[in-house]
Each structure stands twice: as structure tokens, then as C-alpha cells.
Amino acid sequence: MTTPDPVFPVLRPASVAGSFYPAQPGALDSAIASLLDEADTQPAPAHPPKALIVPHAGYLYSGPIAARAYVCLAALRSIIRKVVLLGPAHRVALHGLALPEASAFVTPLGHIPLDAELAAKALELPQVHRNAAAHALEHSLEVQLPFLQHLLDDFTLLPLLAGQGSTQAVATVLNHVWGGAETLILISSDLSHYLPYAQARQLDQHTATQITALQPLDSHEQACGATPINGLLLCARQRGLQARLLDLRNSGDTAGDQSRVVGYAAFTFTEPAT
């Protein structure tokens, strides 16, 4: 059990360490380094990303796909100081977007302080509230944190879980905390769930085509994080961002069983050159 840290009196401890990713710091850091080394064999985007979409399954399943997006952050280690992280709430029914009642998130790699200033800004909006229960056991945000800790220098976090709500409500929050080059927007989402391999590939390719065209997704059958994805896509259209697909696979490609698979994709979004 994590003991309270006097610097971070309210902690959100890791809930899926040892199941979704290694619980020991050395093993976790080595696993991430191996995933990034493998991903680094592919050409990197010409411009640094402002936003990413990454999957959130166990590292055995979606880690190689997530790493294809995360490796793009290597050159931004000393630049990114704030991460706005959105994902779907899987365990608790929500309306709007939920912040935790915590001052730091904990993983085997250490503590990540929450950004009090950004949290206060987000809470200015009526669709944002605090909900500790929603965050307590949620994996969609947690699995992203060790990648960020491995790749970035000191940074603060704004973790938001999305429930029922409109695309415009999410986009308004993102625009409110958008920031500059120091702020990364990170959307955590898997794609289709538990379809046969060939059917999943067809649906996920359609979803990827919509995302790269900045067209909103039709339903949560395409992505469990369709709500935060659509919010990002609306911002991307408004701000002239360009989306690029980096990787598109499913659990049948990474873990072998092709009878019922989950789809994964990695995307980058870059701002127009100034």
C-alpha cells in the first residue's frame, strides 16, 4: 500500500500495476524502453505533435502500438511540462468530465503531481466536476503514465475521465486548457471490441480513415473513447491540425487470439507551421 507523501497529501495509487504493466520499477522501465526501441525503427513525423491518440490495454496487447505514438515525444523531453489526459470511464457512470480528488497520481516509477492551475481552470466549466470513485480503479489513464514518466522530464498532469456528454462540451474543455508547446493533449482510447479478426480490421480501418480526415466517429462501437476523440477532432478542425495514423493493429496481431479481438491505433496531431 502506498504511504502518503508529505508533498502530495492526497494520492491516487496505481491500481493496475502488476496486471496491465509490470509492478517493479526496473522491469517496468525496461519494458517501456524495449517497446520504444522497437517503435523507433519506423520513420518519425516531420513535426512534433500537439496531441496523440493512444490505446490503453495491457502492454502485452497494445504497448507496441502506443509506443509508436510515444516515441514521437523523445525530442520534446524538456519542452512538454503539462499533459492534459482524457480517457473514457469504464467503471463508474458519469455525466460530463471528472477530475480526481487527488494531488498526485502514483505509479511504480514515482509520483506525478496534478496541475492545480489547470484543474482550477477546468472546474470553471459546468461540465467538469470531481469524482474520486471514477478514478480509483480506472485503467484508461493510468496505463499512459509510465510512458510519460519514462519520456519526459518533470511535468504536471490534468487527468479527466469522460462520461456521457457532447462533443462540444469536451472540445470546450480542451480549448480552455490548450496551452502552447509546453502542453500535450493526450487521448486514451481503444477501437472496436471483441469482434472477429477480419471484421475488426474492416471497422477499425474505417475508424482510422474518419480520424485522419478529422471526421467525428459515429458511435462507441468504433472506440470506447469516442467522446474524447470527437472532442479532439472538433478542436483539430477549428485549429487546423493535421492527423496522421502511425499504427493500426489489434490484439490478434499482438497476442495471438483472433476469435475476439480489440482494436488499437496510434495517431499524432500536428499544428500548422507558423
Domains of the chain: 24-270 (3.40.830.10)
β strands within the chain, DSSP E: 11-12, 51-54, 82-88, 97-99, 104-107, 110-113, 128-130, 156-162, 183-188, 193-195, 242-250, 261-270
Q: Which of 5, 57, 51 lies closest to 255, judged by CA?
A: 57
Cell of 156: 504536471
In this prediction, residues 240-266 reach a mean pLDDT of: 96
Strands 104-107 and 110-113: antiparallel
Q: Which of 266, 242, 248 is nearest to 50 (CA)?
A: 242
- Those residues with Cβ within 8 angstroms of residue 68's Cβ, 6 or more apart along the chain or in another chain: 39, 42, 246, 247, 266
Whole-model pTM? 0.95
* pLDDT tens figures, 155-214: 999 999 999 999 999 999 999 999 999 999 999 999 999 999 999 999 999 999 999 999
How many C-beta atoms lie closer than 10 Å to residue 9's C-beta?
Answer: 10
Q: Helix or strand or coil: residue 152?
A: coil
Q: How confident is the model at residue 94 (pLDDT cuts 50, 70, 90)?
A: very high
Q: Which three cell numbers stand for residue 83?
A: 499533459
